[in-house]
Amino acid sequence: MATARIVIVGAGPAGIRCAETLLAAGFKPILIDENRRDGGQIYRRQPQGFTRNYATLYGTEAHKARDLHDSFDRLRGAIDYRPDTLVWNLTPGQLCCVKQGKHTTVDYDALILCTGATDRLMPIEGWQLAGTYSLGGAQIALKSQAVSIGHRVVFMGSGPLLYLVASQYVKAGANVAGVLDTSPLSKHIGALPKLLARPGLLFTGMKLLAQLYRAKIPVHSGIQPLQVLGDASSGVSAVRVRTAKGETLNVECDAVALGYHLRPETQLADLAGCRMRFDEASGQWWLAVDEEGRTSVSGVYAAGDGSKIRGADAAEHAGRLVAMALLEDLHQPVNAGLRDETRQALAVMDQFRLGLAQAFPWPAEQAKALPDTAIVCRCEMISAGELRAVVSEKGACEVNRAKAFSRVGMGRCQGRYCSQAGAEVIAAAAGVSVQQVGRQRGQAPVKPLSMLTEEVSP
């Protein structure tokens, strides 16, 4: 085995393919993952002892999930795999980790961040009520525990995940009250030339929609979210929207799942000092990497949705490609033909990504329309009105300055679920672009953690 100490963070599609490629080249990487089992979010394995089959768990992606899991099972004994371990901070050449409350450090010569993505959320009045989940949270409940988030569930937002999770709930026998998409049908049609870059995936999406129609699930496109109805004692009771025809529609439910595509997990890269860039198509800040996954910091690499949101197939390709980039930087032989094929495949997937951004746009205008009473930051219960006040009264037109005045993004989620929407509120109030408002800087610890302390005898 080669001696360079290589650490991969994340055991999803990108991390697994990266580890597989490095192992084949004679390196034994350390693979750290905060989950108890491999697969990431999209191919999350069910807990040990659960016996649901692949078709039930993963639907049309069952064969891909099985292939990835089988690949990991083959390499698991040959790598240094550390599950249930959170990387919460880093310094040059060293990671700070915690597992079951115990702190450890891990040194590295090369670091590959395959940290994946989380839900991208836009607030709606009343979304702080019990029974409001993200799409990813609703999916985790189904995959990990085989439970529905409610007896009668509404799915609202936009993007492929909206239809995927709704169809998974229908297949599992859950009661889906409706699927409410903020993007109009005209946007879907207009994006078809780009989406045809991957006709198979486009057809899969159409099949998911057809399944919902066959199950007689109400599907509405071009809606405007107005309010999650309910009260603090009993939680969600309904969702109120304005339809594309301008009519007010109330959909009774006891749970609602929200989501607008994904946002990359860039906190560790931020702490490493990696440069970020603003992506015009999606309207958010991404990690700046070259074509093969090198960041602006020497020895730090990134792949998968943690650097560029392109989906699970692209993450697998990117994992292989970033491993080849590292091997090349270590002056190891690389299969040039395979590298070029992988680049070409990713270029096609990037075209499809642009199609998705066009078909299911981020609804920035919703932030401007939020009433002052609407909560933006659920952790700290900061309202849209309070954010607008720090702009008008304090002149805080930059997101970190607004954070200092209002505490938006200072809660347990560290701004994961509110910082982008908060930036939109600030931009609208200040009359500037969201790019000018900037991004919330990463802080350690990147996620809430517990530490065990030894009792000291008096």
Mean pLDDT of 207-218: 95
365-437 adopts what CATH topology? Arc Repressor Mutant, subunit A (1.10.10)
**411 vs 304: which has the higher pLDDT:** 304
In terms of C-beta density within 10 A (0-12 exposed, 13-18 middle, 19 or more buried), how is residue 41 classed? buried
pLDDT tens digit string along 324-343? 999 999 999 999 999 999 99
pLDDT band at 2 (very low <50, low <70, confident <90, very high): low
| The residue type at 426 | I
Query: Kindly report the CA angle at 41 between 5 and 49, in degrees rounded to 5?
Result: 95
pLDDT band at 138 (very low <50, low <70, confident <90, very high): very high
Nearest to 114 by CA among 22, 40, 175, 169: 40
pLDDT band at 50 (very low <50, low <70, confident <90, very high): confident
Q: Which residues of 349-362 are buried (b: 16+ CB within 10 A; e: fewer)?
A: bbebbebbbbbbbb
Give me the CATH code for the 121-260 domain, please.
Answer: 3.50.50.60
Predicted pLDDT of residue 342: 97
CA dist., res. 248 & res. 69, Å (int)? 46
Q: Which two tokens stand for residue 261?
A: 């595509």
Predicted pLDDT of residue 458: 56
pLDDT(390) > 90: yes
pLDDT tens digit string along 73-106? 999 999 999 999 999 999 999 999 999 889 999 9
Nearest to 116 by CA among 46, 58, 45, 41: 41
Place of tokens 């049908």: 185
Q: Which residues contact 66 (CB under 8 A, 6 or more apart)?
A: 54
pLDDT tens digit string along 434-458? 999 999 988 899 998 876 666 555 5
| The residue type at 139 | Q
pLDDT(349) > 90: yes
**41 vs 275: which has the higher pLDDT:** 275
Same topology for domains 6-118+263-356 and 121-260, yes or no? yes
| Domain 6-118+263-356 grouped into CATH 3.40.50.970 | no
Predicted pLDDT of residue 452: 67
pLDDT(178) > 60: yes
CA dist., res. 95 & res. 76, Å (int)? 21
Please tell me the chain's helix, strand, coil percentages from 3-state DSSP, rounded to the nearest 5.
40, 20, 40
pLDDT(282) > 80: yes
Window from 41-50, 155-164, 351-360 with minimum mean pLDDT: 41-50
Domain boundaries, the chain: 6-118+263-356, 121-260, 365-437
Q: Could you tell me the end-to-end alpha-carbon distance of the chain, in angstroms, rounded to an integer?
A: 50
